[in-house]
Structures are given as structure tokens and as C-alpha cells.
Amino acid sequence: MRVLGLETSCDETAAAIVDGERRIIVDLVLSQLDEHRPYGGVVPEIAARSHLDHLDRLTAAALRQGGMTLGEVDAIAATAGPGLIGGLLVGVTFGKALALASGKRFLAINHLEGHALSPRLSDGIAFPYLLLLVSGGHCQTLLVAGIGRYRRLGTTVDDAAGEAFDKGAKLLGLGYPGGPAIEAAAARAEAAGADPTQFALPRPMLGRPGCDFSFSGLKTALRERVIALGGIGRLGEADRDALALALQEAIAASLADRTARALARAQGEGAAPTALVVAGGVAANRRIRASLAEVARSAGLPMVAPPASLCTDNAAMIAWAGIERLRAGAGDESLVAARPRWPLDPDAPKAVGAGVKA
Amino acid sequence: MSATILAFDSAGAAVSAALCRGGVALAARSEPMERGHGERLLPLLKAVMAEAATGFDALDAIAVAVGPGRFTGLRIGVAAARGLALATGKPAIGIGSFEAAAAAALAEGPARSAILVAIDSRREELFVQLFDRAGEAVGAPLVATPDAIAATLPAGALLVTGDGARLMERALAGRGDVRILAAALRPEILARRAEAALRQGHMEPARPIYLRAPDAKLPAPPP
């Protein structure tokens, strides 16, 4: 079984072909980072235009590099949500047109389901498992019990963890995207012997009941420290880097605390997770990875982190979710519409302020 | 030899599609709609192909209206056209909505004057372009308010068409010989122009004509 996957939900245009033996035959990603960088964030209209400019050539290249024609794939799977509607419509419409003209099945994939099932593509792990999904657009813990069986345990009530990095980097004058910039600055501060506790940044939600995340208070506290030290764009390099270290420590501590609680809750409710899976772009941060590995170790579970290429936005996980859903009996979904909001667990309570991130 | 072309338009307040041979529709559908173009376009294409009993492998080209128009509708049309093009190996030919609207007006009968095509942008400003009585573009496309547009127009008789024609009515009230023509942009018009382009070997892939830059503000430099 082979599925062509398409991903256009945010600022990467991606096409990939994956087979039923967990082989990623081809995996192409075109980042729009340079187009959005001057604006300090993703501009939806620019993203939508760029997806349309590139998706057909990228898909043709995927088929060519995969050494196959459209006739040789079993289905076409495209991200139908959640995400920026302009880009979603491009990917979904293009995918449906491919399916219509080639007589293939079309599958409308939830982007979060792509992330949720990605450790089964990379590591072949068994259900159930606890997933921490941390990216610029999402921050949630999910108990993944089976295909289509997802229970959200915690979610952010305001910003995603990746946003905390991006907004923090902006305040510190470290540029966009913020994650790698903060990590590099934090490493410099550490090498210089900075004390990560010197600025007394809050550790959001630490010890609070429940499993939800919150990062907007941390952002406010960081802004206050920046202003006290001279203001945005006027920080000395040492202060700037030390604040980056403090920010990274606070985010890592908060993620670890909330994830440990979600894990305990899942286990307390009788689930026996086989692993703690950490996915999403923020999982690339080494400090965060180390603190989550500690959480897994304390719970006696392995930590599984799919490779970076599967953690950031990609189409291989979309194709793989298509394969899993076909095996679970999914039919043609040509009539399913793109939707900006699409919670993986529709029964979970709405998180005020989190928008599509929940 | 006449070409078999699947032509469609989702750039305005409708989704229209036709399967045409030699510029004549064998099957055609049109649904007026304000939103939801993305959900209706592919089912409509499937329906006209089925009604004309034509397989996608029989197509010589795909013709799509590329605007200007509504950004989302434009992209839906072009994304569908490019998907069909990749799957069939046939070209996706983009037809500008100004030239198509001018051709649609001329299809109603010969024009006795210059033709102004006005397209609703759903903002105060309109998209317009001026054509001569033969349907050849005279000026460059313009994005402006009706009054500003009126000030640029040459004297003399004028035929105003396009889905924004009515929005020009007030600004042109002081002129003598103005005729407003509501001519439906039928997909056959797109197919005919695509067939002509195909004969001339024009194979540029369809791309939207936005005429307006994305709404995005560059951040202010640090104080």
C-alpha cells in the first residue's frame, strides 16, 4: 500500500510518499521561512499564495523521485485542518483534484493525527501511548489509544510553547524563528556561567492541578525584565543571553511538570501507556528533550522522539496517517471540507484563549 | 480539430463549470454562492464530466478563470486546475477574468463603444480594466474607487460589464452614453480562449492575478 501525502496547513509546503511497510519513499518539504521572516511571523495570505505557487511542482517532484506515477499510489491524503484556512484549501482542493482525475481515494487528514501517529511510522510503537505535542501552533498532551481514539489530557489555555519561544526571542531581539535562536543564546549564557534563576522568571502552572499549559504570564514577566534592563533592543549581550537561558529553563520546567501530571493521570485512570512520545518542532530543543526524558524515566517508560523531519511540519506523517486510516477502514473523503479548527478529541472541553491550538 | 476542455470559474459569487468541445458546452453547471466554493467545485467538475460521459483522459486542456477576484476563490480554482493538470498530463491554462468578461460582453452582440470591465473586490475599491470595442485591452488593470476610476476614463460612449459593473453606476451618472451590461461569464468563454491559446502553443501554467499585495505590515524598527 502506498499513499501520497500533502501538507499545507502552515508555512511549509510538503509532499511525501509512504508505504505500508513504514518506508518513507520520498519526503519533500519546502519552507516559506524566508518569505515570512521580515514580518516576524507567519502571514496567512503570503502562506496561501506560496503553497499554491509550489505545491504542484513539489508533488510532481515527489512522484518523479519516488519513481512512480499517480496511478501507482493507492490514495491521496491531504491535511484538511487544523491550520490556516487559505493554505488548507489549496492542499485539499489540489489533492481532491488529483484523486478525482486519477480515480483514487482522497483522505482528509487531521494534522494533529499526523503528529499523533508519527511515532508508529518512525518507531513502530504500540498503542496506547502518551503524546506531548509541542510546536509553534500546538501544545497539548494526548492519550493515543488507537486510530481515531484520542483523549486530550491537557492543552494550552493561551500561547503554544513554540509561540513562547518566538515571542520571547522577539522581546530579546533574537530574531525569528525563536526556538533555535533562544537555544543558541541559552547555550552561550550557560558557557559563560550565567545563573538560570537570577531573573526569577515564573514557572507557569508548576504544581497546579490539572494538566493544562499556559505561557502568556511568562511572556509578560520576560517583558518586564527586559524593560527593567534597558528595554527591547537595548539589552547587553550577556543579559540578553542570560534571559534566554532563564526563559528556556522556565518553559522546560513547565512542560516537564504538566507532562508528568498527564502521565500520572493516564496511569491513574487505568491506561498503561507504552511510551512517552514527544513530537512537534519544540521537541528539537535539547534542554526540553532532556527534561522530558527525565519525566519518562521517573515513570518507568521509554521516551520516543520521532526524528526532527517528522517533528516539524511534513507530509510523510500525513501519508502515514492515511495508511493507518485506510487499514482501519476509511473510505473516500472527497466531500470532507477543510476546517481551520479541528480538535482531535472533540469531547475535550474548549480551552478559552487557545483558539486553534487546542 | 476541436479541443476537449474542462473549463471553470470560482473567482466570483458563483462556481461554474462546463465540459466543452470546440468551444461548445456538452455539459454545464453553475451554482451561485457567497461562500463554500471549495466544497462545491470538485463535485461540480465530477458532475459535468459524468453528464458529458467524458473521462479525464480525454481532456486536451483545463481552463480556469484566474482573476482578479476573491483571493480564496481564485486559489481554489487554480489549485483544482493544477491538480487536474498534474493527474492528466494536460496543461492548466489560466484565463484572465477581465479579458473573459470583455469577451462575454462581446458574445452578447457587437459593442459600439469602449468596454470597461469592473470586478467586485468586496471592498470600496474595484478591479477594472478598459478594452476597445473589439475586446483588446487598452489600459493596464487598475485597483481604485469608482470615483477615481471615473476620472481616468476617456470621453465618449462606454459599455460597462463585469460583476462590479453596477458598483460603477453612481460614479458614471454624470456621463451621457453609458450602458451597463450584466453578461454572465459562462465557462464556454474560458474554454474558447483556452482553445485559442492551446493552438498558439501557449503553455504557461495558470496562476492567480491578485492585483493586491497581501495585507501584512512590516514590524516597526526598535525605538
pLDDT, tens digit, 9 for 90 and up, residues B127-174: 999 999 999 999 899 999 999 999 999 999 999 999 999 999 999 998
Global confidence as pTM: 0.92
Instruction: Locate the chain B residue with the closest alpha carbon to A61.
Output: B86
Can you say how many angstroms the Cα of residue A312 is from the centroid of all Cα atoms in its chain?
A: 6
**CATH for A167:** 3.30.420.40
Does a structural domain hold residue A349?
A: no
Residues A114 and A139 in one domain: no
pLDDT, tens digit, 9 for 90 and up, residues A53-89: 999 999 999 999 999 999 999 999 999 999 999 999 9
- How far from A193 is each of A138, A245, B86, CA to CA, in Å? 33, 11, 57
Please provide residue B19's backbone torsions phi and psi, each rounded to the nearest 5 degrees.
Answer: -100, 120
Does a structural domain hold residue A237?
A: yes
Say whether residue A101 is in contact with chain B using an 8 A CB cutoff: yes
Residues A258 and A189 in one domain: yes
Please report which confidence band the pLDDT of residue A105 belongs to, taking 50, 70 and 90 as the band edges: very high
Rounded CA-CA distance A77/B198 in Å is 32
Residue A354 in this model has a pLDDT that exceeds 80: no
**Between chains, do A56 and B207 touch, taking CB under 8 Å as contact?**
no
Residues A215 and A320 in one domain: no
* Domains of chain B and any CATH numbers: 4-97+185-200 (3.30.420.40), 98-182 (3.30.420.40)
Residues A97 and A138 in one domain: no
Nearest CB neighbour to B42, from listed A49, A102, A334 = A334
Does a structural domain hold residue A338?
A: no
Does a structural domain hold residue A8?
A: yes
**Which residues pair with residue A70 across a beta bridge?**
none
Does a structural domain hold residue A340?
A: no
Does a structural domain hold residue A321?
A: yes
Q: List CB contacts (< 8 A) between B41 and chain A.
A: 93
Does a structural domain hold residue A180?
A: yes
**Between chains, do A101 and B42 touch, taking CB under 8 Å as contact?**
no
**Between chains, do B82 and A56 touch, taking CB under 8 Å as contact?**
yes
**Between chains, do B82 and A97 touch, taking CB under 8 Å as contact?**
yes
Q: State the pLDDT at residue B223.
A: 44
Residue B221 in this model has a pLDDT that exceeds 60: no
Q: List CB contacts (< 8 A) between A337 and chain B.
A: 36, 38-39
Rounded CA-CA distance A211/A209 in Å is 7
Strand order in the sheet with B158-161: B142-144, B126-131, B114-120, B158-161, B178-181
pLDDT, tens digit, 9 for 90 and up, residues A36-57: 988 888 899 999 999 999 999 9
Residues A31 and A100 in one domain: yes
Residues A244 and A316 in one domain: no
Q: What's the mean pLDDT when you consider all of chain A?
A: 94
Please provide residue B27's backbone torsions phi and psi, each rounded to the nearest 5 degrees.
Answer: -155, 140
Total residues found in chain B within this entry = 223
Nearest CB neighbour to A39, from listed B45, B82, B218 = B218
Q: State the pLDDT at residue A204.
A: 87
| Nearest-neighbour CA in chain B from A337: distance (Å) | 6
Tell me the helices (H) and strands (E) count for chain B, helix number first. Answer: 5, 10
Q: Tell me how many domains chain A contains.
A: 2
Residues A114 and A160 in one domain: no
Please report which confidence band the pLDDT of residue A175 belongs to, taking 50, 70 and 90 as the band edges: confident
Q: List CB contacts (< 8 A) between A13 and chain B.
A: none
Q: List CB contacts (< 8 A) between A40 and chain B.
A: 219
* Averaged pLDDT, A175-195: 94
The domain containing residue A66 runs over which residues? Answer: 2-121+308-327
Residues A292 and A180 in one domain: yes
**Between chains, do A93 and B76 touch, taking CB under 8 Å as contact?**
yes
Residues A11 and A27 in one domain: yes
Does a structural domain hold residue A286?
A: yes
Task: Please give the ipTM for the structure prediction.
Answer: 0.96
Residues A78 and A220 in one domain: no
Residues A172 and A247 in one domain: yes
Please report which confidence band the pLDDT of residue A295 belongs to, taking 50, 70 and 90 as the band edges: very high
Q: List CB contacts (< 8 A) between B50 and chain A.
A: none
C-alpha closest to that of A48 among B79, B93, B67 = B79
pLDDT, tens digit, 9 for 90 and up, residues A239-278: 999 999 999 999 999 999 999 999 999 999 889 999 999 9
